[in-house]
Structure 1
């Protein structure tokens, strides 16, 4: 069994899986693999926003407002799933200290295990993937290079002092440490 398979199927107890990485770093691909394990539920921020707020996200402020509503709505539900023994994989960007504080509040309230999966991918690779993703039309949102730069300016890599069980991946998706 390789290192990634061990991480994907690492526990029989409930765990909260969070992802951190820039736009187009591979968060959704990783969360899909993580959620494929038994007794895991995937919740995707992009899908919730696209369904609940179609054509309402035009600025970073619009996004922040809508995602705050979704997080408020889902907090008790996520904690309930975790306390019931179901692992939760959140395809939400835990890219700031504030977002990670919300994630920590979830696993602490549930008293469960957690993992923060950090995709350490360069801006150049993310922009190349973003261009391909935009051309494919398969993602619910189109993000320009300028928007990437604006959003990435708020990105804060996780620090070991934040207290997360951190798993770091390289640009190929392989576990670095």
Structure 2
């Protein structure tokens, strides 16, 4: 049975690392927002408003594609941040349209750990985007953990 795997957690919580592991499952495809936004919109991403605009464009293009992939029997790891109720609603709609199950992997990682990982990630220059402490704070201020009313199949990961 195809499954849509979703990831929720603050910046540098380990979402992409977990996404890569989940994508090693048989008949499972990884789709990464960071990969696509860096390839398509790198020059346009300067502010959180730029991110919201570009991310919305990417979701509009990718949504029907993800539904088709799921309907064709492949599972999808959607490495897009499921960090707000609205984003999770969009992601859930993809699973519902495709008629497949879903798993929301929530990485419940303390800010201190995320900040340390972010500093290491920035120093290594191994990630598509460099994120400052101020940007971490700004994005984190919009973070909403998943709640029971959203009715997701939640898998919690802690450090």
TM tier, smaller: over 0.9
Which residue among 40, 44, 57 is the counterpart of 2:45? 57
Give the structure 2 partner of residue 77 of structure 1.
Answer: 65
Question: How big is the shift at 1:28?
Answer: 0.2
Give the structure 2 partner of residue 147 of structure 1.
Answer: 135
Asked if 1:86 is matched to 2:67, the reply is no
Give the structure 1 partner of residue 145 of structure 2.
Answer: 157
Which residue among 10, 22, 44 is the counterpart of 1:22? 10
Q: TM-score, structure 2 length as denominator?
A: 0.99
Asked if 1:134 is matched to 2:126, the reply is no
Count of aligned residue pairs for this structure pair: 159
Q: Equivalents in 2 of 1:102, 1:136: separation in Å?
A: 33
Q: Cα RMSD (Å) of the superposition?
A: 0.5
Question: How big is the shift at 1:56?
Answer: 1.4
Q: Equivalents in 1 of 2:26, 2:97: separation in Å?
A: 23
Q: TM-score, structure 1 length as denominator?
A: 0.89
Asked if 1:121 is matched to 2:85, the reply is no
Question: How big is the shift at 1:87?
Answer: 0.2
Question: Contact (CA 8 Å) 1:160, 1:166: kept in 2 or not?
Answer: no
Q: Equivalents in 2 of 1:164, 1:130: separation in Å?
A: 28
Q: Deviations over 1:1-36 (max 9, x none)?
A: xxxxxxxxxxxx100000000000000000000001
Q: Equivalents in 2 of 1:68, 1:43: separation in Å?
A: 15
Give structure 2 stretches of 5+ with no counterpart.
none
Residue 167 of structure 1 aligns to a residue whose secondary structure is strand
Deviation >4 Å, runs of 4+: none
Question: How big is the shift at 1:55?
Answer: 2.1
Question: How big is the shift at 1:81?
Answer: 0.6
